[in-house]
Chain A
Amino acid sequence: MATAILDLNLRTAPSLLKIDAKYDKAVVLARVDGHAIARLLVPAKDGAITRADILARLDESEQSHLNHILLEEALAIEAPEIVRPTATVAVCTRNRADDLRLCLAGILALPDDGQEILVIDNCPSDDSSRRVVESYPGVRYVVEPRPGLNHARNRALAEATGEVVAFIDDDAVPDHGWLRALLKNYEQRSVACVTGLTMPVELETEAQEAFEAYTTFSRGFRRRAFHSLNHDPLQAGIIGSGVNMSVRRSATLRSGGFDNTLDAGTPTQSGGDHEMFTRLMVHGFKIVYEPTALNWHRHRRSREELEKTVYGYGVGVYSSLTRALIVEREWGAVLVAFSWFRHIQAGRLWRALTRGTPTDRLILHELRGCLHGPFAYWASVRRLRHTGGGRYD
Chain B
Amino acid sequence: MTEPEVSVVIPTHNRCASLLRLLKALRQQDFPADRMEVVVAADGCTDDTHAAIKAFAAPFPISDVRLSGLGPSHARNAGAAAARGRILLFIDDDIEPLPQLVSSHVSRHRASGSDRFVLMGYYPTQISTQTGFYAAALATWWEEAFEAMAVPGHRFMYSNVFAGNLSLPRKVFQDLGGFSTEFPHPGGEDYELGIRLAKKGAIFGFSRAAIGLHYETSDIRRSMRRKRIEGVSDVCIARFHPEIVPRLRLSWEAFPLSERIARWAAFKAPWVSRLIDWSGLGGARIAEAVGSRRIWIRFCFFVLSANYWRGVAEATNSLDGLREIVERGRDASEATVARVLELQLEDGIASAEAQLDEVRPSAVVVRLGDALVARWSAEPGAEDFHAGHLRSRLATHNAYAFAVAQGIKALRDEAPENTVTKSRTKAL
Taking Cβ atoms with an 8 Å cutoff, the residues of A that contact B are 4-7, 10-20, 23, 32, 48, 51, 55, 64, 66-68, 70-72, 74-77, 80, 83, 102, 173, 187-190, 199, 201-202, 204, 227-229, 251, 254-255, 282-286, 296, 298, 330-332
Contacts and interface: CB of A to CB of B under 8 A. Distances in A.
A10 B413 CA distance: 11
B395 A284 contact: no
A13 B152 CA distance: 31
Contact of B416 (A10, A14, A72, A201): A14
Contacts of A66: 411
Given A17-B419, A18-B419, A64-B401, A173 B428 contact: yes
A72 B395 contact: yes
B413 to A, nearest CB: 10
A77 B152 contact: yes
B129 A283 contact: yes
Contacts of B414: 15
Given A4-B424, A188-B143, A201-B425, A229 B137 contact: yes
B408 interface: yes
A284 B428 contact: no
A175 B401 CA distance: 29
B139 to A, nearest CB: 6
B282 to A, nearest CB: 20
B291 interface: yes
Most buried by B among A72, A202, A251: A72
Nearest to A229: B140
Top 6 closest A-B pairs, CB basis?
A20-B423, A284-B136, A16-B419, A189-B124, A15-B415, A18-B421
Interface in B381-428: 391-392, 394-395, 400-401, 404-405, 408, 410-412, 414-426, 428
B136 A227 contact: yes
Contact of B152 (A16, A80, A286, A332): A80
Nearest to B398: A64
A227 B391 CA distance: 31
Nearest to A192: B127
Given A14-B416, A15-B414, A80-B152, 5 more contacts: A14-B418, A16-B419, A18-B419, A202-B425, A202-B426
9 contacts: A15-B419, A17-B419, A70-B405, A77-B152, A188-B143, A201-B425, A228-B136, A229-B140, A284-B135
Given A71-B395, A190-B127, A55 B411 contact: yes
Interface residues of B, number: 49
Given A173-B428, A254-B129, A17 B139 contact: no
Given A254-B129, A283-B127, A284-B127, A331 B291 contact: yes
* Dominant secondary structure at the B interface: mixed
B423 A4 contact: yes
B233 to A, nearest CB: 26
Contacts, number: 140
Contacts of A15: 414-419
B33 interface: no
A11 B412 CA distance: 10
B249 interface: no
Contacts of B400: 71
B147 interface: yes
A387 B97 CA distance: 44
Nearest to A79: B152
A253 B258 CA distance: 41
Interface in B211-257: 211, 213
B291 A6 contact: no
Contacts of B416: 12, 14-15
A221 B137 CA distance: 28
Contacts of A286: 140, 143
B36 to A, nearest CB: 21
Contacts of B339: none
B415 to A, nearest CB: 4
Contact of B422 (A19, A188, A229): A19
Contacts of B55: none
B140 A74 contact: no
A204 B428 CA distance: 13
B131 interface: yes
Given A18-B420, A190-B143, A229-B297, A201 B401 contact: no
Contacts of B426: 5, 7, 173, 199, 201-202, 296
Interface-central residue, A32, A66, A75, A285, by most chain B CB under 10 Å: A75
A380 B124 CA distance: 39
Given A75-B395, A188-B124, A283-B127, A83 B139 contact: no
Contacts of A188: 124, 143, 146-147, 208
Nearest to B297: A229
A189 B146 CA distance: 11
B412 A102 contact: no
B420 A228 contact: no
B338 interface: no
B132 to A, nearest CB: 8
A7 B425 CA distance: 8
A14 B420 contact: yes
B416 to A, nearest CB: 6
Contacts of A48: 419
A11 B411 contact: yes
A342 B193 CA distance: 55
A5 B427 CA distance: 10
A330 B425 contact: no
Contacts of B415: 13-15, 51
B211 to A, nearest CB: 8
A285 B129 CA distance: 10
Contacts of B129: 254-255, 283
Interface in B98-153: 124, 127, 129, 131, 133, 135-137, 139-140, 143, 146-147, 152
Nearest to A5: B425
Contacts of A189: 124, 127, 143, 211, 213
Contacts of B410: 70
B53 interface: no
A18 B414 CA distance: 17
A287 B216 CA distance: 22
B293 interface: yes
Contacts of B335: none
A212 to B, nearest CB: 13
B51 interface: no
A14 B422 CA distance: 11
Contacts of A283: 127, 129, 131
Nearest to B208: A187
A67 B405 contact: yes
Contacts of A296: 426, 428
A284 B127 CA distance: 7
